[in-house]
Amino acid sequence: MQFAHRTTRLSALALGITGALAFGQVQASGFQLKENSVKSLGSAFSGSAVAKDDTAVVVNNPAMMTTFEGTTVQNDLSLISIDAEFTGGGTDITGQPLSGGNGGDAGDLAAVPALSLVHKFDNGVAVGAMVHAPFGLKTEYERDWVGRYFAVESDVKIVNLTLSGALDIVPERFSVGGGLVFSRADVTLSKAVDFGTGLFAALPVAARPFAPAFARPQGSDGFAEIGGADNGIGWVVGASLRPTDKLAIGLSYQSEIDYELRGEADWTVPAQARAALDAAGRAPFFQDGSVTADLTTPATTMLAVSYQLTDTFKLQTTYSETGWESLQEVRINFANPDPDSVEEFNWDTTRFMSLGGEFKLNDAWTLRAGYAYDETPTTIQYRTPRLPDEDRKWYSLGATWQFSDALQINFAYTRISPDTPVAVVINTPVAQGGQRLSGTFDSAVNIVGVSGQFRF
């Protein structure tokens, strides 16, 4: 009974679905993706809620859709290269070093597309639609790396369809807008499970020195993979004030979205550990079966200001807050008798601040640049290999080529670097395996984007 109880609690070793979501080295705080506009990317998203000629305002501030004429279609693609390499080590419950290497480069090259459309009617009403990925990641460590008991694979896809409308209250000066957000979340995560520790802890203390290899820590590794998906609905509202021809102020808010992820748990249990479970009358534990987990993606508030200093130069800024306090813990519910797996996050609200500018070089070319500071929602006591996250700095450059009156092409490059070295220190409770991992991540993100916009 003692063995079965201790071994069962291994299922609580960071198998939270949001733990997979939380690999924050993608681009924005937590697992947020800001890359819905290449044009805004080129200025570190400064002024993105007051952009007059960027159809991503369908999401960033629908009130700005009234500044368009006719129909505008925009297709954005951002290529994100993530580097994240671990240096450090760990120990098991007996104090012996954890075996394995550094896991390789946990990052990947990811493509983040976005498609948006705005149509302005003659009566001051505008409508728009946009498909984009507001949250997501794809990271993977080698299966035998030193931190395998904490994370191996994290694959998250969240896609939103936003349908928005806007109305001029005071033509050319004040408008409001809002819309509905239809979302789909699809998550897969995996990690190794140290069944050897459960076998070892179940033995009398006097017998532990004589335990066979498979009944020692790191001697009987299994594997767990969990996948789940669900649909959710949210909303977005915004307002735009343009008191003069030079000054624009935009405010927008996007709501939280709730998901009840439903999927399957796939367990790989070594034969000797399975035999021990069966012999202890715990055959139903660690069997494949269905799981559920609640997830709430955060609300976002954005304030942006732009000012046309000269005929050729515009200064712009953005301040936004992301309500990560929606993520305090994640609880996995197993349909099988395995107890709930609970992982604490205790995340807090983050702030994103950017400053940038646009310079109109000539009728064909506009250049832009920006700098941003982006806070992390986590702290060192809750940081895990699924979230080697730290406050980060953005350095962005971009350009627009106005090919014709109807067609423009946008380019952008952004470099994101952590503000300080990303340290990870984890001390797993003895009841959950007792492993310890400590070290640092050498990480950086490079983003290259291109988009095309067509008006008709």
**Tens digits of residue pLDDT in 9-49:** 333 322 333 333 333 344 456 688 888 999 999 999 999 99
List of residues 6+ apart from 233 with CB closer than 8 A: 180, 181, 182, 183, 257
Q: What is the pLDDT of residues 207-222, one digit of tens each?
A: 888 888 888 999 999 9
3-state secondary structure the chain: CHHHHHHHHHHHCCCCHHHHHCCCCCCCCCCECCCCCHHHHCCCCCCHHHCCCCCCHHHHCHHHHHHCCEEEEEEEEEEEEEEEEEEEEEECCCCCECCCCCCCCCCCEEEEEEEEEEEECCCCEEEEEEEEEEEEEEEECCCCCCCCCCCCEEEEEEEEEEEEEEEEEECCCEEEEEEEEEEEEEEEEEEEEEHHHHHHHHCCHHHHHHCCHHHCCCCCEEEEEEEEEEEEEEEEEEEEECCCCCEEEEEEEECCEEEEEEEEEEEECCHHHHHHHHHCCCCCCCCCEEEEEEEEECCEEEEEEEEECCCCEEEEEEEEEECHHHCCEEEEEECCCCCCEEEECCCCCEEEEEEEEEEECCCCEEEEEEEEEECCCCCHHHCCCCCCCCCEEEEEEEEEEECCCCEEEEEEEEEEEECCCEEEEEECCHHHCCCEEEEEEEEEEEEEEEEEEEEC
Task: Write the pLDDT tens digit of every residue in 412-441.
Answer: 999 998 877 677 777 777 666 788 888 888
Query: Rounded to whole angstroms, how far apart are CA atoms 430 and 152?
Result: 21
What are the mean pLDDT values of the chain's consecutive 10-residue runs (456 residues total)? 40 32 45 90 96 96 97 95 85 92 81 95 94 86 91 88 97 96 93 89 87 90 93 98 96 96 94 87 88 92 97 97 87 87 83 97 97 88 74 95 96 90 71 81 89 95
pLDDT recorded at residue 421: 67
The reported pLDDT for the residue numbered 128 is 97
Could you tell me the sign of the dihedral formed by the alpha carbons of 335, 336, 339, 344, in that order?
negative
Q: State the pLDDT at residue 156.
A: 82
pLDDT tens column, 374-403:
998 887 777 777 777 788 899 999 999 999
pLDDT on residue 220 = 92
Amino acid at 455: R
Domains of the chain, each with CATH number or no CATH: 2-455 (2.40.160.60)
Q: For position 359, what pLDDT does the model report?
A: 97
CA-CA distance, 435 to 217, in Å (whole number)? 9
CA distance 80 to 70: 33
